[in-house]
Amino acid sequence: MASISDDRIYEQCCLEFRSINGFFWQIPLIMMTLNGGLWYSVASLTLDISAQRWILWFAAGANLVMIAGLWRLRNIMAGLLDRIRTFEGVSPKKGPQRLIQTLFSLLLGTAALGALLASCDPARHFPATVSQTKAGCGEAAKK
């Protein structure tokens, strides 16, 4: 069996790093789009409170899952970057290397927290979109 040259391994590591880096930068854009669509739905559609809560909980959960995804991708990227630098004969950099990852995580965490806080009382935050039946709040039973 023929061995694979170091140049070929280096090239594949660079290609894989480039591909994963693209995903890393796409996640925040995808999440902004998802958050915007979900919040727009909650704010503009006539939904009962329980539906608004479920949508907001989904938005919060999706943001938290994407934070985990960012960290996982960045860990894979760090391993690839170490291999690339080893092939290049360069020592790994010391110091903070995860500033963007941390900032993205803070933004997604803030979006998740905002969705959770809004889900506590959707009628207060989206008063014009709540239908006459306030499911789950006992209001329908009083009428």
DSSP structure string for 73-125: HHHHHHHHHHHHHHHHT-PPP-S---HHHHHHHHHHHHHHHHHHHHHH-HHHH
Spans of all domains in the chain: 6-121
Residue 54 clears pLDDT 60, i.e. is over it? yes
Give the per-residue pLDDT at 91.
81
Confidence of residue 129 (pLDDT cuts 50, 70, 90): low
CA dihedral sign of residues 41, 45, 51, 53: positive
pLDDT for 38 = 95
The model's pTM is: 0.80
Residue 115 · residue 57 · CB < 8 Å? yes
